[in-house]
Structures are given as C-alpha cells and as structure tokens.
Amino acid sequence: MDRFHFWRCWLLVASVALSLQGLTWIYWGSFDPFGIYDGMLAKSLFGSEVFTPEAKVAFAYAVSLLGATDAAFFLLFTFIVMFPFAKREKWSHAAVSSALLLWFVFDSGFSAHVGAWFNIFLVNLPCLIVLGIPLVVTAKDFYGQPIDGQPNDEPKSR
C-alpha cells in the first residue's frame, strides 16, 4: 500500500468512526456515557459540577441535534474521500480540508469565548490532528505535478 492509499484509508476509517460517534450522541443524549464532558461543560458554563434537571434536558436535545449533524457531515466526508478524493480530484481535497478548518476555527473560537477550553484540548485538537495530518500529507497528490495515469480535474482545452 502506497502513502496516498494509507492516508486515504486512515481518513475513511476516521470519518466512519466519527459518523458513528455522532449517532451515539443521539442515543445517549450526551457526548459520553460517563458524564465526564457534561461535568466539565457544566463547570465552564454554570460553575456547577452537574447540570440542573432543566439544563440536562436542553443539553440532551442540543446534543442529539448536533449528533445527527455530525453523523451526516462525516457520512458526506466518507463519500467524498471514498470516490473523488480517491481519484485525486482537487475539489475533494479542498472541500474536506476547508470544512475541517471552518469547523475548527469557529468551534474553537466559540469554546474559548465561553471559557470551555477543555473542548478545544480534548475534542477539537485531537480531531484536527487525526484528520488534518492525512490532509496535509496528501496535499501534494492534489496540488503537485500531475501523476501520469491519474485523473486530473483541470479543464481540457478544446
């Protein structure tokens, strides 16, 4: 297996796992079944070790919506990596890379704004590393010199 295929497989496994993780958020109504994240968030937002009963219901609702969005986003990510990314179509690399960076910047920025620094260090940075390294390493396969025998999405002159 060459370098490109290794990192493409890495992205496929990671994106399927992250999509499934989103489905668990819907089932649990939380980011983790042990309440660790919930406790850290309650402390950051409310200065309390636990959510009030009302906040817990609102949090479960929000997490379920986020879980559905996360599952759908990473399912789309999976299909992009599975097909056009495999053909080294430039737009596919640009799409998944820019979507990842957009999420990271805004999610991390808002987390910092509300004082939820733990979210940046426990969730955002690990996800950026797991998905970002393969995207950086494979960038030259999309933006470097065309490889003989590989599809190129450059417009053909008539």
Is 27 contained in some domain?
yes
Looking at residues 82-87, what average pLDDT do you find? 98
Looking at residues 1-13, what average pLDDT do you find? 97
Q: What one-character DSSP code corresponds to residue 153?
A: -
Is 147 contained in some domain?
no
Is 103 contained in some domain?
yes
Is 84 contained in some domain?
yes
**Structural domains of the chain, count:** 1
Is 158 contained in some domain?
no
Residue by residue, DSSP assigns 37-63 as HHHHHHHHHHSSSS--HHHHHHHHHHH
Domain of 28? 3-139
Q: What is the pTM of this model?
A: 0.88
pLDDT digits (tens, 9 = 90+) for 106-154: 999 999 999 999 999 999 999 999 999 999 999 999 998 765 666 555 5
Q: Looking at residue 66, what is its pLDDT?
A: 97
pLDDT digits (tens, 9 = 90+) for 33-64: 999 999 999 999 999 999 999 999 999 999 99
